[in-house]
């Protein structure tokens, strides 16, 4: 998938007009080692974009969130339903949009999305309310290596090599497009 000219233009104008989200809709999720928000997500310390992915495509029932390196073409957007505490993203496959909903986040488990209605425990907190929280705590997200070698978001992951992170809601995509130098 590639950005159409239109969606790039929309993205750029969104970047210029409002760099921090004003509503709990249509934001990107990025990880950073810093808790304080930045009006320019590229300037968050150690920032990484994120995208949902299927660790076991054969079952195809559960998505996790993984980190993305620079050079991606598209980034999925997320919404948060404050009344149910559910974080969601809509992915389109064969022209059929499916809303993937987060399940209740548990200690030492991945952030997970399923294609079913859910009740969860996700909210926003921290300075300016730009940090994703679980049960009101913004401290506890970790990045751990998955079975297939991806860097995956966990809540309070305790495995060796898990590192602490903050999950930010932002409206501008970080390090958006890497230009290839030949
Ligand atoms: C955001 O920061 C990056 C990296 O410092 C910079 O290249 C970019 O121009 C900035 N974007 C805006 C809209 O200021
Ligand atoms: C995700 O949750 C929303 C709100 O409850 C619901 O409308 C939607 O159908 C759910 N997604 C799926 C695939 O069931
Ligand atoms: C989060 O904080 C609010 C306000 O202090 C409180 O009413 C609510 O019960 C807390 N939620 C959790 C899951 O701790």
Short-list 168, 178, 155, CA closest to 72: 178
The residue written with tokens 């548990």 in the block is 106
Q: How far away, in angstroms, is 124 Cα from ligand 1 center?
A: 25
Angle, vertex CA 33, rays to CA 154 and CA 15, nearest 5: 100
Q: Which residues pair with 41 in a beta bridge?
A: none
Say whether pLDDT at 19 is over 90.
no
Predicted TM-score (pTM) of the model is 0.85
What pLDDT is recorded for position 56? 83
Q: Whose CA is nearest to atom 1 of ligand 3?
A: 136
Q: How far away, in angstroms, is 99 Cα from ligand 2 center?
A: 6
Per-residue pLDDT band for 10 (boundaries 50, 70, 90) equals very low
Q: How far away, in angstroms, is 133 Cα from ligand 3 center?
A: 11
Ligand sitting nearest the alpha carbon of 86: 2
C-alpha to C-alpha distance for 163 and 153, rounded to whole angstroms: 10
Q: Whose CA is nearest to atom 10 of ligand 2?
A: 117
Q: Whose CA is nearest to atom 11 of ligand 1?
A: 40
Ligand sitting nearest the alpha carbon of 87: 2
What pLDDT is recorded for position 101? 98
Span 59-90, pLDDT tens digits? 779 999 999 988 888 899 999 999 999 999 99
Span 32-64, pLDDT tens digits? 999 999 999 999 999 999 999 998 877 779 999
C-alpha to C-alpha distance for 61 and 74, rounded to whole angstroms: 22
Q: Whose CA is nearest to atom 9 of ligand 2?
A: 117
**Nearby residues of 136 by Cβ (< 8 Å), 6 or more positions away:** 123, 125
* Phi, psi torsion values for 62, nearest 5 degrees: -145, 135
Helix (H) or strand (E) holding 164: strand 163-164
Domains, in order of start, for the chain: 20-170 (2.80.10)
C-alpha to C-alpha distance for 104 and 118, rounded to whole angstroms: 8
Does 135 sit in the ligand 3 pocket, CB within 6 Å? yes
CA-CA-CA-CA dihedral for 148, 151, 157, 161, to nearest 10: 90
Does 119 sit in the ligand 3 pocket, CB within 6 Å? no
Span 101-157, pLDDT tens digits? 999 999 999 999 999 999 999 999 999 999 999 999 999 999 999 988 999 999 999
State which of 38, 40, 173, 176 you would mutate to test the pocket of ligand 1, scoring each by most atoms of that ligand within 8 A of its C-beta.
40
C-alpha to C-alpha distance for 101 and 81, rounded to whole angstroms: 10
């Amino acid at each position: 998938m590639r950005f159409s000219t239109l969606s790039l233009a929309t993205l750029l104008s969104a970047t210029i007009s409002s760099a921090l989200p004003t509503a709990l809709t249509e934001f990107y999720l990025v990880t950073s080692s810093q808790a304080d928000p930045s009006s320019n997500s590229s300037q968050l310390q150690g920032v990484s974009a994120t995208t949902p992915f299927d660790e076991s495509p054969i079952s195809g029932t559960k998505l996790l969130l993984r980190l993305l390196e620079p050079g991606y073409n598209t980034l999925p957007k997320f919404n948060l339903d404050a009344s149910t505490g559910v974080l969601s993203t809509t992915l389109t496959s064969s022209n059929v949009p499916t809303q993937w909903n987060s399940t209740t986040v548990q200690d030492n488990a991945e952030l997970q999305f399923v294609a079913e209605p859910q009740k969860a425990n996700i909210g926003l907190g921290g300075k300016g309310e730009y940090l994703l929280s679980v049960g009101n705590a913004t401290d506890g997200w970790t990045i751990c290596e998955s079975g297939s070698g991806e860097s995956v978001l966990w809540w309070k992951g305790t495995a060796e090599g898990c590192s602490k992170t903050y999950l930010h809601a932002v409206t501008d995509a970080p390090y958006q497009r890497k230009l290839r130098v030949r």
